[in-house]
A and B are shown apart, each in its own frame.
Chain A
Amino acid sequence: MSKPKLLITMGCSFTEGVGCWDESKLPTGFSPNHHRYRDVFYLQKPRFHELGWPNRLGKKLGYDKVINLGLGGSSTSGQVKQFFEKYLDKDFSEYDVLIVWLLPNPNRISFYKDGKIQNIVHDNTLFPAYIKFLSNSYNMDNDFINEQLFYRNIIKTICKFKSYSLVSFHLFNKDYGELIQEKLGNDTSHSPILLDDNPSDNIQHISPICGHWNENGYELVSNNMFNWINTTHPNLIHNPVNTIEWEWDGYCLNSNMN
């Protein structure tokens, strides 16, 4: 008898599902500058987690459970640290496990601070020093991607030894995808496709509030992911389901590691 199927998803806000706003519950003139933005954002988080691409993909693939580790603002290295802290030692032997990783912006980095994983994005005071360090580099994007793919390789290696399946996708444009592909060579676990390549229809797929995908966008993205997996890794596909058990576990631990 085959094992139940578990989908673990990793990524940033685009994996957390940010953008699936319930517009009927938003204050008038709501935007990121609104004084209640943070409060409303947190109130709507459960909706984001339910309606993003992870659960949609899990249903289309015919999986039994989704654990979504997506966390807004997180970096590739921060996502690996989180995985190591929380999921490396978990016993999933009752499941066939597939990890789908939507790689975040590769220029983000992370460090521990106050015992927590702190992700460094472009508005952090540390970020300019990182850019200055790379400023004489021949191709800064190349350096960002090297760093990102090093961390991807850690997860890929762990998956190989634990007999988990892994596929990854990336955000951003075709050039970026080609740079990744060039470095990965014939590694078929990464998809070169552009997930939301439908510019004429963009307005239908993007939330005007935060610029992330909306429910239509996440549906498009999950369809594109599914189609690529169906073509490239058909062994990962089962009969689609209408409902799926799921949890979001994107919180970082305040940890002593032990």
Chain B
Amino acid sequence: MKKKLLITLGCSHTQGLGCWDMNLRYPVGFNARHTNFGDWAHVNRKRFHELGWPNRLGKKLGYDKVINLGLGGSSTSAQLKRFMLKYADEKFSEYEVLVSWLITESVRTSFFRDGVCESLLANGFDEDKITLFDSIYKFISKNGTRTETHTTLDYVREEYINRKVVKTICELKGWNFISFHTQTHQYGNIIQHVYGDDKTHSFTDIGFSQENDENLISKYCGHFNEDGYEMISNKMVNWIKSNHPHLLSNSPKDEIEWEWDGEFSFKLEKL
């Protein structure tokens, strides 16, 4: 019987941002806008990667190894690029592979700049990125004259193609594929309209509607804390049990081999 490998894709929620070490002494009023936020995040980085939903899910599924490609601030297309560049040619022939993708906000996109894959978000410090993000929004929304629903529909279509690439490559390689969405509670009806009755996607909210529950959210960055990621991984497992029970191994594990391979901005090494 082959060993089982879980590969996870997603944004900061997959990277595990929010699992801060509460034994450290953070500056007074510390939050995501603090000047030294990046430095503190770096100190906690390994903890984020260890305690987020990917390793929790891997253990609950009884898997042998987790490779987490989650990267904070990344777009669906950037996540696809990373997967294509680093994993599309991997065989992992000693493993049964499951790819689990927690899909991020649909409005994000990405382009290569100076050989680096750059994600475009609604906020940030790079004016050229924000200008391009806004220009794309204006183009798709026809300068804001289309309804939010119709505009979102087109962004989700873009996301769906990106997802379809990964799903197709997984199918062709004999890997299992499932996906979840961070925005189901916001526009799940639009996602369902585009995705149709795709059984590999969970159309139920896996906890993101509870982003205001202070017991589940880090006060420093607004991401889930350890309890929040525990809740998410439980909801993922329950959905898998109900819909894809063959993906469960016999018994959950207490320990799991894992690595994070998200890198902040990856240079193009091969095509």
Contacts and interface: CB of A to CB of B under 8 A. Distances in A.
Interface string B126-156: 0011011011101110100000001001110
Nearest to B110: A147
Contact of A113 (B112, B115, B139, B195): B139
Interface stretch (A9-17, A32-40, A60-68, A123-131): A123-131
B45 interface: no
Contacts, number: 119
Chain B contact residues, majority secondary structure: helix
A138 B196 CA distance: 43
Contacts of A126: 135-136, 138-139
Interface string B161-199: 100110011001100000000000000000001111000
Nearest to A120: B139
Interface in A78-132: 81, 84-85, 88, 109, 111-115, 118, 120, 124-126, 129-130, 132
B219 interface: no
B140 A135 contact: no
B136 A143 contact: no
B84 to A, nearest CB: 6
B43 interface: no
A157 interface: yes
Contacts of A139: 114
Given A113-B139, A258-B196, A133 B84 contact: no
Given A111-B140, A113-B139, A133-B111, A146 B268 contact: yes
A149 B271 contact: yes
Nearest to A128: B135
Contacts of A132: 128, 131-132
- Sorting the interface of chain A by its residue count into under 10, 10 to 19, 20 to 34 or 35 or more gives 35 or more
Contacts of B32: none
A26 interface: no
A244 interface: no
Given A84-B164, A112-B155, A162-B172, 19 more contacts: A88-B164, A111-B154, A112-B157, A112-B158, A113-B139, A113-B154, A126-B138, A129-B131, A130-B132, A133-B129, A136-B128, A146-B112, A147-B111, A149-B271, A150-B81, A150-B271, A161-B169, A257-B160, A257-B161
